[in-house]
Amino acid sequence: MSSPVDEALLRTLTPRVLGVLVRRGAEFAAAEDAVQDALVEALRTWPTEPPRDPQAWLVTVAWRRFVDATRSEAARRRREERVKDEPAPGPVPGTDDTLQLYFRCAHPSLTPSSAVALTLRAVGGLTTRQVAAAYLVPEATMAQRISRAKRTVSAVPLDQPCDVATVLRVLYLVFNEGYSGDVDLAAEAIRLTRQLAAVVDHPEVAGLLALMLLHHARRAARTTPDGALVPLAEQDRSRWDTTAITEGVAVLQAALARDRLGEYQAQAAIAALHADAPSTAATDWVQVVEWYDELVRLTDSPVVRLNRAVAVGEADGPRAGLAALAALDPALPRHAAVAAYLHERDGDLATAARLYAEAATRAPHLAERDHLTRQAARLNTAREAR
């Protein structure tokens, strides 16, 4: 008899098992390798030999791997003492261990791509193969990226205060990657953010969780069966996931009530206004613009100003949107796409078609390029038909 491995359980247990090893005195990088070995072993053997106590099994196997790996002439004596005194699978490590693990894996000394990879493996319990497949790089490359990242953070002392914003940025990056290969990175980011929200009381953690839930809710409506993008205005809102929306709105309201606004809460508030509206026309665009004003104040990001111009176009008409756009650098990503949309709304179809075609040549993703090409094609076809 063999049964599929409960990968979700395995991923939940990963940071705890790593916490046990580190607390027993194992050095972080070696402990993390040992836990990864235990994960791979679990995926191999659990289908035919499911353990009675999965966490104890993982701790035992990981600890033995750690001890084996640290075997050397110089360490032999110390190791033998360790094996002799092998501690029992202890209590579940405290929430502090998990939190420290998040901080370490998102440490500011790491590049974003390294922090993402290390977080997914050490906190998320993904195998190197899965992380590599998700980011479309060879497994050996990903293994090196993770091992270099661990070398970088190995020396980081664990008792210094850390900024939760660095962790949130990493989780945001994971979520935005969507999904490719057999790992759903968006779902994984939600799980990791939920787990983080359980161990740290911070309105921005809740804000990011709400933002993810509210965007994830739209997933089924966001693409056609053959992968083409469906813009927000054209999405079939009956296909939005109401359970995710309800949870996202509740998490957001609780966070906003704390009166410590941050960028993720403000972004989630905009997503919540969309979630609340039966259509684009029925959306409270005036409030959306107000939230964009908050976001501009919080981030001063040109990308936010660009999105704000779209909202202004809906709230006060396309001319107002174009006026807001005029103040922005045309080199901004998606500037031409936004200009095209506003010109179309203003009735200038020739300019809109030209800008859509131009935007297509600058699109960062194939799906977006195809979408913008179709928009240009739609307007050109309509103009020729007249």
Partner 1 sequence: MAKYLLLKHYRGAPAGRNDVPMDRWTPQEVSDHMRYMQEFADRLVETGEFVDAQALAPEGLWVQYGGQGRPPVTDGPFAETKDLIAGWMAIDVDTPERAYALAAELSAAPGARGEPIHEWLEVRPFMSEPPTIEE
C-beta closer to partner 1: residue 34 or 357: 357
**x/- binding map, residues 184-223, to partner 1, per CB under 8 A?**
----------------------------------------
User: 91: left (phi > 0), else alpha (psi -120 to 50), else beta?
Assistant: beta
φ, ψ at 184 (rounded to 5°): -90, 95
Tell me: does residue 180 bind partner 1 (CB under 8 A).
no
Tell me: does residue 381 bind partner 1 (CB under 8 A).
yes
Q: How far apart are the first and last CA of the chain?
A: 68
User: At 332, is the secondary structure helix, strand, or coil?
Assistant: coil
Tell me: does residue 349 bind partner 1 (CB under 8 A).
no
Judged by CB under 8 A, the number of residues near partner 1 is: 22
The DSSP letter of residue 136 is T
Tell me: does residue 380 bind partner 1 (CB under 8 A).
yes
Distance CA 220, CA 210 (A): 18
Tell me: does residue 141 bind partner 1 (CB under 8 A).
no
Tell me: does residue 377 bind partner 1 (CB under 8 A).
yes
**Structural contact between residues 179 and 185, judged by C-beta atoms closer than 8 angstroms:** yes
Kind and range of the H or E element at 184? strand 183-184
Least gap, CB of 348 to partner 1 (angstroms) = 16
The DSSP letter of residue 121 is I
Q: Which of 83, 220, 228, 350 binds partner 1 (CB under 8 A)?
A: 228
Q: Which of 6, 147, 362, 368 binds partner 1 (CB under 8 A)?
A: 362
Q: How far is CA 89 from CA 54, 72, 132, 346, in A?
A: 11, 25, 31, 68
Least gap, CB of 229 to partner 1 (angstroms) = 11
Q: Which of 116, 151, 356, 386 binds partner 1 (CB under 8 A)?
A: 356
The 3-state secondary structure of 170-228, one letter per residue: HHHHHHHCCEECCEEHHHHHHHHHHHHHHHCCCHHHHHHHHHHHHHHCCHHHHECCCCC
Q: Which stretch binds partner 1 (CB under 8 A): 64-72, 183-191, 270-278, 364-372?
A: 364-372
C-beta closer to partner 1: residue 24 or 378: 378
Tokens 């072993």 locate to: 41
Tell me: does residue 166 bind partner 1 (CB under 8 A).
no
Q: Which residues bind partner 1 (CB under 8 A)?
A: 226-228, 353, 356-357, 360-364, 366, 369-370, 373-378, 380-381
